[in-house]
Amino acid sequence: MEITLISAQDLRVASSAFCRCRHLRPFITVTTSTTYGAKQLKVYKTQVDDKGGVNPTWGDKFQLHLDQTFFSGIYLQLYTKHLMMGNTQLGWCLIPATDIFDRFSPVGSTRFLSYRLRDSDGSRGHGVVNVAVKLEGNPPTPHPQQQLLTPERNVSDMVIGIPVKMLPEKNEFSQGQVTG
């Protein structure tokens, strides 16, 4: 499967005495989530967007090799990079396997998804992340009813990402032209 991390909108960092961010330098990490935590997970990372601020764009593409048996979703974490203090998390979302594979036809088509970010405690955060997914080959079997594990925490009791909107793929109808 190919995932493209397109952009984010309206990002905000929680203000604190330790973090007084004047300029966001966001990046995203991508991890596939499995129903069993014993497997070592691969983490992918976008480039830092030094110019986008609260509305960054990346366009970074990654090829994810999904386990046919245990795949349950894609875990995204957004951070801002500080020169002196390291990284601060801006939010996270979990894209369930069912959002990627339900009604996903035909193989090879691109699906655009947007998700509201969550704060570290699972409450509603600030911002939306926009991604595109393209299924290549046979889809893995999603396991939406089983316990979801992420690299850092068990999120089975938390709210997972819910699509904000789905953008239609361009075709002859979206161009205002009908062929035939």
Answer yes or no: pTM beyond 0.75. no
CB 32, CB 80: distance < 8 Å: no
End-to-end, the C-alpha distance of the chain in Å comes to: 33
Q: What pLDDT is recorded for position 176?
A: 45
Q: What is the mean pLDDT of each run of 10 residues along the chain (180 residues)?
A: 94 63 86 65 91 94 77 88 85 87 68 92 91 78 48 46 52 44
CB 128, CB 74: distance < 8 Å: no
CB 30, CB 43: distance < 8 Å: yes
CB 166, CB 112: distance < 8 Å: yes
Token readout for 1 is: 């499967």
Q: What pLDDT is recorded for position 171?
A: 47
| Residue 99, helix vs strand vs coil | helix
d(CA 76, CA 139) in angstroms, rounded, equals 20
d(CA 73, CA 100) in angstroms, rounded, equals 8
